[in-house]
């Protein structure tokens, strides 16, 4: 079923009742005038009040008591916190991150801009700082830093935005009518198997990370088999992978399981101390795409007090290119029937995914989804949970776990070098320069070039350290 052919001008049952009242009043009024009696001051008063009633009824009709108006009203009170948006990726592809050349209020080539975020009642957006899996083992860390720089600039140079790093800041930003930006890393390849790198990302404001994108990392498995940089070894979450989860728990960074394999998700749910999220995944029972979440995992997620933020991409909704809003609502209804409404959110995936259902084409369309759920008898209370309260609870619980763990030291665990096998990783240790296998002579130019590499690397590290210091001081 579609939207049952109802446009925005169709009338809700309340509005239909009002039309009947108005017709009734009109009839009485006509009757009174048809008597052609001399209108006494008293009856004139009567007519006046009838007219006022009439105007009031008409007014409330025009104001709209339609379901879409109810959706807007509810979203005014409980504006959306959305789990996933790839605007930053599009800004890199389309504009090479040159913010000065565009106006974020109004961007025609993408599905996200400030005007439409406001129209869609999006009060907080998790912005992905995603870099392609092709950068794994190469410059993923640099590219991620550049995307963080972009989101930080977006969210500080525009007064409508505010960069937030805690649940409290998120709530405050709502009071100030700002759109809160939460930075989230998409894909563990961004940390290049390094816990210190994870910690530095936290310092730059990152508050969530999905453990994989479409590539396995050396320590966690992806739901996709698109890349095989690291083959699956049937160790869904390695010893180092568990350390990544531990460190995220300790820092207060939300673990995101969208894109991971079910095994990895299950292993994380076994291991984590804090609630986790699927920032943009839908229900596997409704559409059997490997990016979606099966019911048995939903049960584990509920036990974890975590959250599934439903993805709107047509391929994940209907398992094909064409989809309609009611099919999106089917995912909500199904998940609700399995684990209730306290573990559901919304993660649109606009500007990341390519095809969206009819009527849900950009970030301004969220009210249409809420309208559909209202028509399916979701209560205001349940919808308020889905729109924002569930996410705020998870964020707060993640912070509470961080507070519990505050006496723990940063982990110094390093991934075993045989698990990363990357010629780009420089191993700096005594003796200096790198030890050469016995029996092999080293030419003076080789030593010179190695020395140069080490000096260059030390120099780069110093520059990065300096930049971090500036960040912390500023």
Ligand X SMILES: *[C@@H]1O[C@H](CO)[C@@H](O)[C@H](O)[C@H]1NC(C)=O
Positions marked active-site: 84, 86, 186, 213, 259, 280, 349
The nearest distance, CB 366 to ligand X, in angstroms, is: 18
Residues in the chain: 474
Closer CB to ligand X, 27 or 320, in the complex? 320
Q: Does 266 bind ligand X (CB under 6 A)?
A: yes
Q: Does 97 bind ligand X (CB under 6 A)?
A: no
Binding mask 371-410 for ligand X (x = CB under 6 A): -----xx---------------------------------
Q: Does 288 bind ligand X (CB under 6 A)?
A: yes
- Cα separation, 89 vs 132, in Å, equals 9
Stretch that binds ligand X, among 122-130, 174-182, 197-205, 266-274 (CB under 6 A): 266-274
Q: Does 98 bind ligand X (CB under 6 A)?
A: no
The DSSP string of 453-473 is HHHHHHHHHHHHHHHHHHHHH
Closer CB to ligand X, 225 or 393, in the complex? 225
- From candidates 66, 112, 223, 236, binder to ligand X by CB under 6 A: 236
Those residues whose C-beta lies under 8 Å from the C-beta of residue 283, and which sit 6 or more positions away, are: 292, 293, 295, 298, 308, 310, 331, 334, 335
Q: Does 295 bind ligand X (CB under 6 A)?
A: no
The 10 Å CB-count burial string (b at 16+, else e) for 412-422 is: eeebeeebbee
- Cα separation, 348 vs 281, in Å, equals 9
Cα–Cα distance list, 3 to 15, 18, 408 (Å): 18, 23, 53
Q: Does 263 bind ligand X (CB under 6 A)?
A: yes
The four Cα atoms 106, 109, 111, 115 give a dihedral, to 10 degrees, of 10
Q: Does 109 bind ligand X (CB under 6 A)?
A: no
Stretch that binds ligand X, among 49-57, 231-239, 246-254, 321-329 (CB under 6 A): 231-239
The nearest distance, CB 116 to ligand X, in angstroms, is: 9
Query: Do residues 174 and 76 make contact, with C-beta atoms less than 8 angstroms apart?
Result: no
- Cα separation, 82 vs 125, in Å, equals 5
Q: In the 8-state DSSP scheme, what is residue 386?
A: I
Q: Does 115 bind ligand X (CB under 6 A)?
A: yes
Backbone dihedral angles phi then psi of residue 293, each to the nearest 5 degrees: -105, 125
The nearest distance, CB 283 to ligand X, in angstroms, is: 13
Closer CB to ligand X, 27 or 232, in the complex? 232
Closer CB to ligand X, 206 or 328, in the complex? 328
Query: Do residues 331 and 87 make contact, with C-beta atoms less than 8 angstroms apart?
Result: no
Q: Which two tokens stand for residue 53?
A: 């009633």
The nearest distance, CB 223 to ligand X, in angstroms, is: 12
The nearest distance, CB 117 to ligand X, in angstroms, is: 12
For residue 325, how far is the Cα from the chain centroid?
A: 19
Q: Does 233 bind ligand X (CB under 6 A)?
A: yes
Closer CB to ligand X, 190 or 264, in the complex? 264
State the number of binding residues for ligand X (CB under 6 A). 15
The nearest distance, CB 108 to ligand X, in angstroms, is: 6
Q: Does 440 bind ligand X (CB under 6 A)?
A: no
Closer CB to ligand X, 112 or 147, in the complex? 112
Burial class (CB in 10 A: 0-12, 13-18, 19+), 333: middle
- From candidates 43, 76, 168, 270, binder to ligand X by CB under 6 A: 270
- Cα separation, 72 vs 347, in Å, equals 19
Closer CB to ligand X, 165 or 216, in the complex? 216
Interaction site with ligand X (CB under 6 A): 106, 108, 115, 231-234, 236, 263, 266-267, 270, 288, 376-377
């Amino acid at each position: 079923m579609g939207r049952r052919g109802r446009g925005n001008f169709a009338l809700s049952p309340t509005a239909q009742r009002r039309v009947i009242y108005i017709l009734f009043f009109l009839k009485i009024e006509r009757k009174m005038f048809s008597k052609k009696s001399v209108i006494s001051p008293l009856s004139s008063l009567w007519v006046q009040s009838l007219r006022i009633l009439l105007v009031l009824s008409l007014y409330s009709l025009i104001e709209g008591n339609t379901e879409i108006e109810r959706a807007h009203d509810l979203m005014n009170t409980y504006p959306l916190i959305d789990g996933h948006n790839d605007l930053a990726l599009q800004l890199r592809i389309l504009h090479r991150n040159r913010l000065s050349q565009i106006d974020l209020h109004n961007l025609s080539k993408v599905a996200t801009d400030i005007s439409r975020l406001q129209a869609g009642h999006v009060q907080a957006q998790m912005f992905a700082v995603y870099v392609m899996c092709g950068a794994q083992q190469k410059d993923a860390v640099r590219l991620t830093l550049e995307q963080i720089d972009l989101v930080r600039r977006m969210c500080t140079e525009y007064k409508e935005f505010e960069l937030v790093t805690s649940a409290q800041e998120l709530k405050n930003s709502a009071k100030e009518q700002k759109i809160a930006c939460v930075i989230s890393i998409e894909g563990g390849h961004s940390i290049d198997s390094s816990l210190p790198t994870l910690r530095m990302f936290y310092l730059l404001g990152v508050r969530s990370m999905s453990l994989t994108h479409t590539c396995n990392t050396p320590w966690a498995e992806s739901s996709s088999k698109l890349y095989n940089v690291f083959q699956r070894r049937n160790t869904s979450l390695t010893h180092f992978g568990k350390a990544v989860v531990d460190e995220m728990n300790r820092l207060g960074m939300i673990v995101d399981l969208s894109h991971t394999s079910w095994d990895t998700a299950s292993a994380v749910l076994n291991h984590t101390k804090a609630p986790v999220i699927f920032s943009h995944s839908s229900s596997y029972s409704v559409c059997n795409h490997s990016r979606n979440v099966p019911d048995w995992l939903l049960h584990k997620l509920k036990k974890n007090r975590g959250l599934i933020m439903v993805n709107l991409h047509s391929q994940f909704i209907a398992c094909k290119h064409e989809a309609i809003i009611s099919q999106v609502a089917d995912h909500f209804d199904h998940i609700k029937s399995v684990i209730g409404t306290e573990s559901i959110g919304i993660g649109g995936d606009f500007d990341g995914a390519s095809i969206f259902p009819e009527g849900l084409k950009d970030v301004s369309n969220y009210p249409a989804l809420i309208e559909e759920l209202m028509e399916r008898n979701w209560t205001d209370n349940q919808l308020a949970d889905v729109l924002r309260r569930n996410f705020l609870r998870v964020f707060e619980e993640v912070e509470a776990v961080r507070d519990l763990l505050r006496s723990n030291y940063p982990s110094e665990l390093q991934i075993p070098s045989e698990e990363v096998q990357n010629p780009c990783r420089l191993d700096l240790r005594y003796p200096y320069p790198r030890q050469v296998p016995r029996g092999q002579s080293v030419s003076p130019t080789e030593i010179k070039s190695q020395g140069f590499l080490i000096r260059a690397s030390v120099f780069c590290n110093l520059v990065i350290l300096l930049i971090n210091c500036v960040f912390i001081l500023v």
